[in-house]
Amino acid sequence: MISILILSALGLVFGLGLGWAALRFHIDSDPVVERIDALLPQTQCGQCGYPGCRPYAEAISVEEADINQCPPGGEAGIRALADLLGREPKPLNPENGEETPKTVVLIDESRCIGCTLCIQACPVDAIVGAAKLMHTVIKSECTGCNLCLPPCPVDCIDIVEVETHKPRWRRPRPQAVPLRVL
């Protein structure tokens, strides 16, 4: 009898303690959609199957979409999402695309006809121009989403790889002196 009373009392005390701790040590954190969106690369390319990064983040948060649907985020992005959500990292879903090195687009000015269709398509306003006037891509703003290529009626937009500048040279990952397998 006494042991029952003591155990109940202990349970009550610890329960109250836990409740107080939950209130006292509560941390305000962003809703999970914000945190997922913060990990996505913001190219708004739509390769994941959703019209932009924010809808994809919302879909992940309700587990409607899987975390391996974003090619621009690549493997690092999948791993970051897996860490955040406590899920297993998976390889990138090939149906959504492949992980490619960073690219930007370049408008061939000799072929551009000034139709503004690409300007309307660009999700980050990286193309400058107006009707019947020359269009050009601002290289530093282009995210490489390639949404401007389909609308162009004269196919004057090319994809180019971004080069690394010499002063920004980074040291490569060290290669261990290989141990000979005997």
Partner 1 sequence: MTRSFQTGGAPHMPPQTTVAKVMLQVLLALIPGVLAYVWFFGPGILVQITLATIFALLFESLMLRWRRRPLKPFINDYSAVVTAVLFALCIPPLAPWWISCIAMLFAIVFAKHLYGGLGQNVFNPAMVAYVVVLISFPQAMTSWLPPVALAEHSLGLADTLVTIFTGRVPVPGGWDAVTQATPLDTLKTGVDAGRMVPEIRNSPLFGDFGGKGWEWIANWFALGGFFLLYKRVISWQVPAAVIGTVLLISLPFWLLDPDSNPFPLQHVFSGAIVLAAFFIATDPVSGCVSDRGRLIFGAGVGIITLLIRRWGGYPDGVAFAVLLMNMAAPLIDRYTRPRIYGE
Partner 2 sequence: MASSRQIELAREAGKRIHHFHGGLRLRHNKKISCLDPVERPPLPEVLVVPLLQHAGDIADPLVHAGDTVLKGQPIGQCQPCAAIHSPVSGLVEAIEDRPMSHPSGQKGPCVVIRPNGKEQWIELKPLSNWLDANPDSLITQIQSCGLAGLGGAVFPTHTKMRDGRDRETHTLILNGVECEPYISCDEMLMREQPDKIILGARVLRRVLGAEHVIIAIEDQMGSVQRSLTGSAEFAESENISVVKVPKIYPEGGERQLVQVLTGLEVPAGGRPSDLGLICQNVATAAAVAEAVTEGKPLIERYITVTGNGISHPRNYLALFGTPVSHLVDCCGGYTGDVARLVVGGPMMGYPLESDKAPVVKASNCLLALSHQDIAEPQPEMPCIRCGECARVCPAMLLPQQLHLQIRNELWKPVEEYGLSECIECGCCDFVCPSHIPLVDWFRYGKGELRKQALESEAVELARKRFEDREARLLRIKQERAQKMAHRKQMLKGKTAQQERIQASIKRAENRSRSMPEEQSSGERDDT
Rounded distance, CA 25 to CA 47, Å?
A: 40
List b or e across 114-134, with b for residues whose CB sees 16 or more CB atoms inside 10 angstroms: ebbebbebbbeebbebeeeee
φ/ψ of 127, rounded to 5, equals -110, 130
Q: Assess 71 for contact with partner 2 (CB under 8 A).
A: no
Selected binder of partner 1 within 163, 165, 174, 176 (CB under 8 A): 174
Is residue 177 within 8 Å of 133, Cβ to Cβ? Answer: no
Nearer to partner 2, 34 or 108 (CB): 34
| Least spacing, CB of residue 105 vs partner 2, in Å | 14
Restricting to residues 41-70, which ones interact with partner 2 according to CB under 8 A?
41-44, 52-53
Binding site for partner 1 (CB under 8 A): 174, 179-182
Q: List residues near partner 2 by CB under 8 A.
A: 41-44, 52-53, 76, 123-126, 141, 143, 166-167, 169-174, 176-177, 179
